[in-house]
Amino acid sequence: MTDSHVPRRTLLRYGAYGAGAAALAATAASWERLTGADIPGRDDGSLVVATLGSAFDPATVEALTQGFHRLHPDIPLRVNAVQAVDWSDFFAKILTQIAAGTAPDLVYVATEGVQLFAQRLGVPLDRWVRRDAAELREYFADVHPSLVESMMYEGNLYQLPMEFNAADIYLNKQVLKRAGAGFPAADWSRDDFTALLREMKRAGDAHFTPYFWTNRLWGGVMPWLFANGTNLLKESKAPGGSWLWDTFYPAADRQGRGGGFRWTTPQATADRVEEAYDYLASLVQENLCSRPEGGNGSNLVGVFSTGRVGVTPAGGFWAGGLHLAGMRAADYDVQYFPRWRTQRHQFGAAGYALLRTSKKQEAAWEFIKYAARKDTMTRLFQSNQTTPARRSMLNAARYAASGPAHWQVFYDTLDRFPDTGPIPAPPQVAEVTDVLLKYTGTALASPRAVGPALRRMQGDLEQAMEREV
Amino acid sequence: MTNTQVPAVRPRPATPPAVAVRPSVRDRGTRLLAALFLAPTVVGIVVFTIVPIIGSLVLSLFHWNVIDPPRFAGGANYRTTFTDSTVLVSFRNTLLFMVLAVSLQLLIALALALALNGRMPVWLRSVFRSAFFFPLVLSAASISVVMKYLFNQDFGVVNWLIGLVGVAPVPWLTSEHAAMATVILVYVWQQFGFSFLLFVGGLNNIPKEIHEAAALDGATGLRKHLGITLPLLSPTLLVASVVGIINALQVFEQPYVLTDGGPGDATRTVVMVIYERAFEQLDFGEASAVGVLLFVLIMAVTALQFRLSRRFVHYQ
C-alpha cells in the first residue's frame, strides 16, 4: 500500500492551510468585540429602570438620569427605554427580559399591569413609605387618593402614581360650529350626547364620522359601562390599607378607601352591560360612530384635527398630540364623559414598580422617590403628553399654548366624581382584554348579535378568571 | 442418480470480495474542507431550528409562565388545546387562508409569468419583474400598517376611490366576511412575487425546441400551455406550492396588524394564537402545544404534497 505515503508537496500545502487557519483563529480570538456583557444595563452594576420607550423622549430621559446622578452620585443609573406599541406589548418585552435573566430593577407599569406585577414580581413599598413618611407627606397631599388606591393590591402599595388619564370627551369646535351646536354642559346626559352626534352628522358630509372610538380596555366600551353603573368584572375592594390612608389623607378622603381593587366575577351578561352594548350597536347602525376595530389612536389625531371627527374619548395626553398636529387651543375643548345612570369615569394610571429580583432595592426606592418629586415630574411631563398625578402641576400656564380651555376637567374628573375608578385589570388582564376586544367586535356586528356575543364573552371570561396566572 | 441433473437454483454470480478502501489524503482533505464549509449552516440549523423544536416539544408538556419554574403537566396542554374553541377556529381560519391565498398567489404569479414570457421589450419586462418582486422585500408589518390606513372603512383611500364611482363604503377590515378576504388580498399582493420569479425561471428552462415541434404539429396557445408548458413547469409548481403553503400556514404579521384577529375570531390564525398564549397570556406550555400541532400539520401537508407530486410532476 502506498496511500499512506504523503507526498512532500501535499504535506506542505496542508501545513500552510493549517497555519493559515490557526492564524485566522488567533486573530479572531484576540479581536476586540462585543459580548453579551456589553449590552446596556447588563451586569454593569447600574440601577436599571425600564420605561415604555415612546412615553419619554431622549432629552427627558437624559434630564432624569442627570438629575438623579446629581442627587445620588453613588448610584449609577441606566434608563432602558423599551420600544413598544402599547402596554401589553411593553409587558411582553419586559417579561422576555426577565425570562432571559436580564430583569430590570424598576419597571414603569400602568394600571393594566399593576396587579400582575404586584402578584408575581413586585415588592410592596409599604416599609419605605412608612420609613420616609415625613418626606412623602407633600407628595400624597398633592396626589388624589383614587390614583394611590389604584396602585394598591391586597392592602399593600406597589407604586407611587406618576401620571394618569381619565376618559373625558374631546370636542372639535369647528365641527360644533358647523352643526350649530353649543358646548355641552358638564352634566350632559347620554341622550344629549346622541342628539349632538345626530346634529353633527346632519351638518357633515359622507366622509364625516361624529363619534370615533377604539376597541380597547381604556376608552372603548368601558366608559359606557362605567357611566351605566356597571363593570365587566364585579368590583370590590380588598381590606387593609389603613396604614396609608390614616397617615397621609384627611378623614374626608379616607372615606371608603381600602387595600386596592378586586375584580373577580365576570358579569358580561348583566342587564346593564347588555344595555350599554345595545346603545353602542345602535350608534353604529345609525352611522353615528365608527366601528370600534376600525379606529386606533394613531390615525385619530389626524382625522380629528382636520374636522373629519366630531368627538372622541381621550385623556390629558391628547392635548400634547393635538398641539403637535397643529391644532390651536381654541380649535378644540374637553368635557366630562356624559352621564347615564351615573357619571362615574374610568382612568388608567402609571408609576414605577420595584421588582423582587432586584438586588438594589434601597437604591431603587431612592429613584422612586426622586421620580415622584415635583421638579422631576415637571421636567418629565413638559409637553402635555399625559396628565401628571400631582394636582398642583395642572395650571393655566401649562395649557396656555396647547389648550384646551377647560383643562381643569382633567383633574376635576377625579375631584368632582370621587367614584371615578381604574379600568378593571386583575392579574389575568391580558386574557380579559383579549376576550373583551374579541367579543366587542362580534357584538357590534348587528343589534341582534349583542346577546349571543355577550353570552360567549361571559363563558370565556369565566375561564380566564379561573386560570392561574 | 446421474450427474446430469440441472440444479434447481441458479448459482448467483460471484460478487467481488469487499475491500476496505481507505480514502486518500486528498479525499480526506476535501471532506474536511466540505465539513468546514457546511459547519456554519449545520450549527445554525441545529441551534436555531432543531433545538427549539425539541424545546417546544418538551415545553408543551409543562405549565410555564416565565416567572415561576415550569411544572410538569403531562398532556394537559394538548387536552386544553383540543377543547379551546379559539384554537380550533384558528386552525380552520389558517387552513382556509392557506387554500385561498396559495391558490390565488400561484394563479396570479403563473398568469403574469406567462404573460411576460411572450414578446415584450426587455426593459419593460425588467420593470414588471422589479415591480412584482418589490413588495416581497418590504417588511410585512410595515406593509400591513400602510394597508390598514388604505382599507380603513371611514377614512381609507380605497373607500374614497370607490366612493367616486358611487359605491358605498365597504367594511374591509371590520366585517367578518370581508376581513379575511382583505387579509388574503394584502398577503397575496406581497407574496406572489416569489412564485412569479420561480415561474419565470421555470419557463426559461423549457427548451424552445419542444414548443417549436408542437407548433409544427399544429398545437396553438392554450393547447401548448396545457400540454407542454404546465407539465414541464410542474417541478417548479411543486416547489412554489410547497413554499407557499408552508409560508401561508405560518401567516402572522398581516392579520395581526390589519385586524388583530378580528372581528371576533374571523382572521385569527394559529401563529397569532401561539403569540397571544405565550407573550400576552404567559402560557408558554399551551403556546408550545399549539406550535407542535402546527408543526405536525405543516409536515403532514408537505408530505401529502410530495406524495401527490408523484402523479402530477413530470421531470424531463
* CA gyration radius, chain A: 27
Report strand pairing: A261-266 vs B62-63. Answer: unpaired
CB A82 within 8 A of CB A50: yes
3-state secondary structure of B287: helix
Which carries the bigger pLDDT value, residue B2 or residue B192?
B192
3-state secondary structure of A153: strand
Stretch 240-269 of chain A: residues touching chain B, C-beta under 8 Å: none
Contact (CB<8Å) A121/B67: yes
List the single residue in B with minimal CA-CA distance to A445. B175
pLDDT of res. B6:
47
* Nearest CA distance, A293 vs chain B (angstrom): 6
Per-residue pLDDT tens digits for A355-390 = 998 999 999 999 999 999 999 999 988 888 899 999
State whether residue A299 sits within 8 Å of chain B by CB: yes
Burial of B95 (0-12, 13-18, 19+ CB in 10 A): middle
pLDDT band per the 50, 70, 90 thresholds, residue A348: very high
Per-residue pLDDT tens digits for A105-150 = 999 999 999 999 999 889 999 999 999 999 999 999 999 999 999 9
pLDDT of res. A93:
85
For chain A, percent of residues with pLDDT exceeding 70: 94
Q: Which of B76, B280, B262, B263 is nearest to A116 (CA)?
A: B280
Q: And the C-alpha cell for B148?
A: 390598514
Q: Which of A128, A132, A148 is nearest to A140 (CA)?
A: A148
**pLDDT value at A3 more than 70:** no
**pLDDT value at A309 more than 80:** yes
pTM summary value: 0.83
CB B184 within 8 A of CB B248: no
**pLDDT value at B245 more than 50:** yes
- Upper half-sphere CA count for residue B251 (Cβ side, 13 Å): 35
pLDDT of res. A416:
96
Which carries the bigger pLDDT value, residue B79 or residue A89?
B79
pLDDT of res. B29:
87
Contact (CB<8Å) A207/B153: no
List the single residue in A with minimal CA-CA distance to B279. A92
Per-residue pLDDT tens digits for B42-57 = 999 999 999 999 999 9
pLDDT of res. B78:
96
Helices B122-137/B176-205 angle, 10° precision: 130
Contact (CB<8Å) A437/B155: no
Mutate to test the interface with B, among A96, A214, A293 (most CBs of B within 10 A): A293
For the stretch A262-298, what's the b/e string if a residue is b when 16 or more beta carbons lie within 10 angstroms of its beta carbon?
Answer: bbeebbbebebbbbbbbbbbebbeeebbbbbbbbbee
- How far is the C-alpha of A276 from the C-alpha of A279, rounded, in Å? 5
3-state secondary structure of A368: helix
Chain A hits for B281, Cβ within 8 Å = 430-431, 434, 467
Which carries the bigger pLDDT value, residue A172 or residue B155?
A172
**pLDDT value at A47 more than 70:** yes
Give DSSP secondary structure letters for B255-284. HHHHTTT-STTTT--HHHHHHIIIIIS--H
State whether residue A69 sits within 8 Å of chain B by CB: no
For the stretch A52-65, what's the b/e string if a residue is b when 16 or more beta carbons lie within 10 angstroms of its beta carbon?
Answer: bbebbeeebbebbe
State whether residue B255 sits within 8 Å of chain A by CB: no
Point out the residue among B176, B261, B280 whose CB comes nearest to the CB of A445: B176
pLDDT band per the 50, 70, 90 thresholds, residue A424: very high
**pLDDT value at A153 more than 60:** yes
pLDDT of res. A8:
72
State whether residue A92 sits within 8 Å of chain B by CB: yes
* Nearest CA distance, A344 vs chain B (angstrom): 28
**pLDDT value at B58 more than 70:** yes
The length of chain A in residues reads 469
Give mean pLDDT, residues A154-159.
98
- How far is the C-alpha of A309 from the C-alpha of A327, rounded, in Å? 14
- How far is the C-alpha of B168 from the C-alpha of B160, rounded, in Å? 9
* Nearest CA distance, B316 vs chain A (angstrom): 42
Per-residue pLDDT tens digits for A67-87 = 999 999 999 999 988 888 777
- How far is the C-alpha of B75 from the C-alpha of A201, rounded, in Å? 56
pLDDT of res. A1:
43
Point out the residue among B154, B163, B263 whose CB comes nearest to the CB of A441: B263
pLDDT band per the 50, 70, 90 thresholds, residue A393: very high
**pLDDT value at B13 more than 60:** no
pLDDT band per the 50, 70, 90 thresholds, residue A175: very high
Residue with cell 395650571: A395
State whether residue B80 sits within 8 Å of chain A by CB: no
Separation of CA B82 from chain center: 25
CA angle A149, A154, A157 (to 5 degrees): 50
Contact (CB<8Å) A209/B154: yes
Point out the residue among B66, B160, B262 whose CB comes nearest to the CB of A98: B66
Give mean pLDDT, residues B172-192.
93
CB A438 within 8 A of CB A432: no
Q: And the C-alpha cell for B302?
A: 408537505
Separation of CA B53 from chain center: 18
- Dihedral through CA B78, CA B79, CA B85, CA B89, nearest 10? 30
pLDDT of res. A296:
61
| Number of Cβ pairs < 8 A linking chain A and chain B | 90
Give DSSP secondary structure letters for A199-225. HHHHHS-TT-EEE---SSTTTSSHHHH
State whether residue A120 sits within 8 Å of chain B by CB: yes
- How far is the C-alpha of B14 from the C-alpha of B33, rounded, in Å? 38
Cβ contacts of B231 within 8 Å, gap of 6 or more: B314
List the single residue in B with minimal CA-CA distance to A300. B155
- Reported ipTM: the value is 0.77
pLDDT of res. B53:
93
CA distances in angstroms from A52 to A109, A321, A352, B141, listed in the order given: 9, 17, 11, 20
- How far is the C-alpha of B132 from the C-alpha of B125, rounded, in Å? 11
pLDDT band per the 50, 70, 90 thresholds, residue A246: very high
Give mean pLDDT, residues B258-270.
92
3-state secondary structure of A117: helix
The mean pLDDT value of chain A amounts to: 90
Cross-strand partners of A62: none
Which carries the bigger pLDDT value, residue B119 or residue B53?
B53
Contact (CB<8Å) B173/A294: yes
Cβ contacts of A119 within 8 Å, gap of 6 or more: A153, A427, A469
pLDDT of res. A453:
95
Chain B hits for A308, Cβ within 8 Å = 154-155
pLDDT of res. B312:
80
Per mean pLDDT, which range of A262-276, A291-305, B71-85 is the poorest? A291-305
State whether residue A288 sits within 8 Å of chain B by CB: no
Q: And the C-alpha cell for B228?
A: 407542454
Chain A hits for B24, Cβ within 8 Å = 3
Give mean pLDDT, residues A248-277.
96
Residue with cell 410555564: B64
Contact (CB<8Å) A95/B66: yes
CA distances in angstroms from A253 to A135, A419, A422, A423, listed in the order given: 20, 12, 17, 21
Report strand pairing: A233-237 vs A156-157. Answer: unpaired
pLDDT of res. A298:
64
* Nearest CA distance, A5 vs chain B (angstrom): 9
* Nearest CA distance, A92 vs chain B (angstrom): 5
Q: Which of A422, A424, A431, A438 is nearest to A461 (CA)?
A: A431
Q: What type of residue is B53?
A: I
Contact (CB<8Å) B280/A92: yes
pLDDT of res. B15:
59
